[in-house]
Amino acid sequence: MKKEERYNGVLSWFKENVPVAETELHYENPFHLLIAVILSAQCTDKRVNMITPALFEAFPTPEVLAASSPEVVYEYIKSVSYPNNKAKHLVGMAQMLLKEFNGVVPSDVDELQKLPGIGRKTANVIASVVFNKPAMAVDTHVFRVANRIGLTANSKTPLETEKTLIKYIPEELVAITHHWLILHGRYTCVARKPKCEACGLAPWCKYVQKSK
């Protein structure tokens, strides 16, 4: 099967069967999502969503968060992974947001990566989710699913996966494809034992074809 045929089949199936796909992180504005994305590193969205209501209420704006301290923020986020580092990142992010960006979350991926706690993956999430830019955030789910299906054919790094996906996916579908792949990896194409028997992508999946 040619790569273009596989992409066309996978994207067509998603468009027909999963017309709506969005982040599972709860947020009300770009600043909230920035906080949630920082917290979500190596942590489940479910856990993040449990703690962010109180966090958002205590720190509703960059000004309030910037004036706080990592020690205070820690008390709100101590149940997530790496809370000490994330508390420092959150305060530092708010301070830089005020100093460099007048308190406004930037839409540019390179600008976003200047903020503490924001790497390329998380910058792409913000650009895609908030600003609907054709940015492909490659987390563990996207990396695994894209390789397993055969969309990226043994990519060794997230950046390699990102570049391949961007090359073959129509620009207007990049943002939603990010969510399609994440959700597929979270609920169907799981890491240890993928649910191939219940997967609609089987006709185009390299993993399924090899398993026959």
* Catalytic machinery residues: 121, 139
Cβ(80)–Cβ(39) below 8 Å: yes
Query: What is the C-alpha separation between 129 and 192, in angstroms, rounded?
Result: 28
Neighbours of 26 (CB within 10 A): 15
Query: What is the C-alpha separation between 34 and 88, in angstroms, rounded?
Result: 14
Return the closest-CA partner of residue 102 out of 151, 66, 75. 66
Q: What single DSSP character describes residue 136?
A: -
- Residue 80 φ then ψ, to 5°: -90, 170
Q: How far is CA 28 from the centre of its chain?
A: 17
Q: What single DSSP character describes residue 147?
A: H
